[in-house]
Structure 1
Amino acid sequence: MLKKVPTTSVIADQRMKAVRKSIKMCAMTILGLGIATSSAQAITITPNDDGEDLVNSILGEGINVVPGSVNYTGAAGASGTFVDGDSSIGIETGIIMTSGQAAAAVGPNDSDQTSTPNGTAGDADLDDLVTQGTNDAVVLEFDFESEGGDLFFEYVFASEEYNEFVNSSFNDVFAFFLDGENIALIPGTNTPVAINNVNGGNPIGTNATNPNLYNNNDPSDPQFDIEYDGFTDVFTASAEGLDAGTHTIKLALADTADSALDSAVFIKGGSFTDEGNGGGDNGGGDNGGGGDPEPIPEPTSMFGLMAVAYFGAGSFMKRKKH
């Protein structure tokens, strides 16, 4: 029996199939690596103690800051800006204010006791919210003009006091005082956000308070790429029916009872606005503030080139068949 000899076109077709298969395998591998890399993007923090810069980072629509009204008080390095925070705290960009050092917030969480005693004073308004005195306060205050209506902004509170000092006197606290009234409240309540008011219990799972609003990140099994041992969901601070005119907002955070173990508040960039964002937590939900989706890679990236090669090879083979 005569053995059938492959024609030139058949050989070319077989070779193209092999090339296409090889390119497909490479493209899928690179795609997997690209997805893993982008989803694991670590938060980046840039220390910045300039009050004007911090205010400009959080301003959104409808808010006009009164010139010369910005006042920042805090230790050097206690505040800054951040990017790539969505996968760790649920907010992509914004500012951070801490009772320690802003740069220390970067993960992974490898310590239960990250702490920088700044040696600065507390804050009298925060003292009124807790039973112990405060220390290491960081305060950002400014006046703004509003045409009236509602006011919103989004934030996350985090701390190294979790979980070991839950239900103790070391109840680190912060507040957003709008014309003297704190609007940083647990969703649906008049209770200020603090260690003892949002937690997973101590030990974890025991005597917890609002655990559905809390994210555990203990270094024994850290779930998020951030240094703090725990943090809240993304909350929305809001004020309804604001009168038209000039108002004062004071953003303040401090250690309570001592100067040990850092706490922080992350405020979403551009979220200080008179238009509701809808991304924050108003009484439930999980960690996540609805960050922007990852951009599709440009064809000039390695994955883009491989994808173009793969689909191009397929197109070329189809043309050969015709």
Structure 2
Amino acid sequence: MKRLFKYCASMVVFCAFCIGAANAQTVIDTSRTADFMVKKVLLGNGVLVGDVKYTGEKHAISIYEDSTSQVGISKGILLTSGNAYYAVGPNKTPRSGWASFAPGDEELEAIARGKTWDASVLEFDFVTISENLSFRYVFASEEYLEYVGSKFNDVFGFFVSGPNMTKTNIARLPDGVTPITVNTVNSGLNSEFYIDNAYYNTTDPYIWDVRNRKVILNKKYLQEEVPPKYDTQFDGFTTVLTAHYKVIPNQVYHIKLAIADVGDDILDSGVFLEAGSFQSSGEIVVELAEHFKRNDFAQKVQSKKTEIIPEYELKEIKIPKKTLLGQIEFEFDKYSITSEARSAIVSMFNEWKAAKNAKLELIGHTDDWGSHVYNEELSENRSKAVAQILLDLGVPKNLMVINFHGETLPIGNNDTEHGRARNRRVEFFLVN
């Protein structure tokens, strides 16, 4: 019965894609190479990548753009277990998907404890200038909520391997332990990380009960239709999450980003990887060796100028030379600056003055208490509060860069008061 619904739903979703494209809210572009997507969309500051490889169906991976940020991400890479076009809303069916009849992935099967199908795997080597690697993502699925608790436990993973470490899956909840699947993040379990977007049938008197595998009366028949809140086909998705890992700067690591259907190859799931978020920062800043040939990709694309799409203008990978001057810390849930912190700011201002014409970069951070959105705003306010003092001291506005990362780049253990205090900080970088 689940397979029968798939074919019926396909026609509905294909029409939904046409509507989404006409509204110009969501853009799905499957024409670009994986190399392009990683180097020119996903990559952020402080990281170089090489040897990009994609295994899977071409229609399962795409560049994704949505100016309204329905899932919390406005641009990035979409990696799916079916067809990327099926991510486009509105949601007009509770069951949609594309079966490619492609093989699964053994490492994902170990997480889901079930047979996988239609795996899409994006992998590449990378080196960083600092000790912290991070990137932001959202997991979404059409298996929600009907198949929660069943064997159809669609799964994804971010597997990092490198020097002096065993391969590690960093696609986990903030507890650092729980992998993210349909069965581990939903309306009943870890619900603070789940957003529902379910479609409810109000037009058919009888519907299929997927839990009990039988036809039942539709209790919502002829009720007023309430359309799903978010303009995406997926019936549910996570909040924006951050993957992070401690690495050794200037050492080559490998990451494998993979997603697959579990139990069958029908309903789709996807993981959205935020553009520019694959980045590195921290207290350690090193000079990078020439690990990868940086110009090979640019030359390859320039030789095929007719293929370049204006929206994705090529840019040089720039890794600024930064020196950490120091940092100041803040009291819990505050961005006011103490007299002790003001003295430290004056000292760092004098160091900047001696450097002559260098830029000052301010990066605000928080501990992990509170929501992601709240902490991001708090870290921004901390950076702005420091910037105002520096402006008053005489630093020109055009020589100051304000950044903020919320709770995503801790340097201390958030399970202890001392660690949380270290994370409530603004870092000062001298940028040459």
Q: Same fold (TM over 0.5)?
A: yes
1:80-159 correspondence runs (5 A): 80-84=62-66, 86-159=68-141
Residue 26 of structure 2 corresponds to which residue in structure 1? Answer: 43
The Cα of 1:46 is off from its aligned counterpart by: 1.4
* Matching of residue 211 in structure 1 with residue 195 in structure 2: no
* Matching of residue 196 in structure 1 with residue 176 in structure 2: no
* Matching of residue 237 in structure 1 with residue 224 in structure 2: no
Q: Aligned partners of 1:239, 1:84: CA distance in 2, in Å?
A: 28
Identity %: 40
Residue 168 of structure 2 corresponds to which residue in structure 1? Answer: 181
Q: Aligned partners of 1:191, 1:227: CA distance in 2, in Å?
A: 26
The Cα of 1:110 is off from its aligned counterpart by: 0.6
CA displacement, residues 168-202 of structure 1 (integer Å, 9 cap, x when unaligned): 111000001111210010112311111011101xx
Say which of 262, 265, 281 aligns to 1:256: 262
The Cα of 1:147 is off from its aligned counterpart by: 3.4
Equivalences, count:
243
Query: Unaligned 5+ residue runs, structure 2?
Result: 1-22, 162-166, 201-226, 283-362, 378-432
Q: Aligned partners of 1:288, 1:42: CA distance in 2, in Å?
A: 26
CA contact (8 A) 2:138 2:239 kept: yes
Say which of 54, 63, 79 aligns to 2:37: 54
Q: Aligned partners of 2:158, 2:67: CA distance in 1, in Å?
A: 21
1:292-307 correspondence runs (5 A): none
Match of 1:89, SS state, is coil
The Cα of 1:242 is off from its aligned counterpart by: 3.5
Change (3 A) 1:230 1:116: same
Residue 170 of structure 1 corresponds to which residue in structure 2? Answer: 152
Change (3 A) 1:81 1:233: same
The Cα of 1:249 is off from its aligned counterpart by: 0.6
Match of 2:70, SS state, is helix
Q: Aligned partners of 2:54, 2:112: CA distance in 1, in Å?
A: 22
Match of 1:128, SS state, is helix
AA at the equivalent of 2:66: D
Change (3 A) 1:260 1:269: same
Q: Aligned partners of 2:88, 2:127: CA distance in 1, in Å?
A: 35
Q: TM-score, normalised on structure 1?
A: 0.70
Q: Aligned partners of 1:284, 1:46: CA distance in 2, in Å?
A: 36
Match of 1:91, SS state, is coil
CA contact (8 A) 1:58 1:270 kept: yes
CA contact (8 A) 1:188 1:283 kept: no
CA displacement, residues 243-293 of structure 1 (integer Å, 9 cap, x when unaligned): 5410001000000011010000000001000038989x96863789989xx
Q: Aligned partners of 1:243, 1:87: CA distance in 2, in Å?
A: 33
Change (3 A) 1:289 1:112: farther
CA contact (8 A) 1:41 1:87 kept: no
Change (3 A) 1:61 1:78: same
Match of 1:127, SS state, is helix
Residue 285 of structure 1 corresponds to which residue in structure 2? Answer: 371
Q: RMSD in angstroms over aligned alpha carbons?
A: 2.7
1:269-280 correspondence runs (5 A): 269-275=275-281
Match of 2:111, SS state, is coil
CA contact (8 A) 2:112 2:181 kept: no
Residue 339 of structure 2 corresponds to which residue in structure 1? Answer: none
Q: Aligned partners of 1:215, 1:266: CA distance in 2, in Å?
A: 15
Match of 1:186, SS state, is coil
AA at the equivalent of 2:193: L
The Cα of 1:44 is off from its aligned counterpart by: 1.9
CA contact (8 A) 1:100 1:116 kept: yes
Structure with higher Rg: it is 1
CA displacement, residues 41-91 of structure 1 (integer Å, 9 cap, x when unaligned): 72221124621022121000111112xx11101112111011125431011
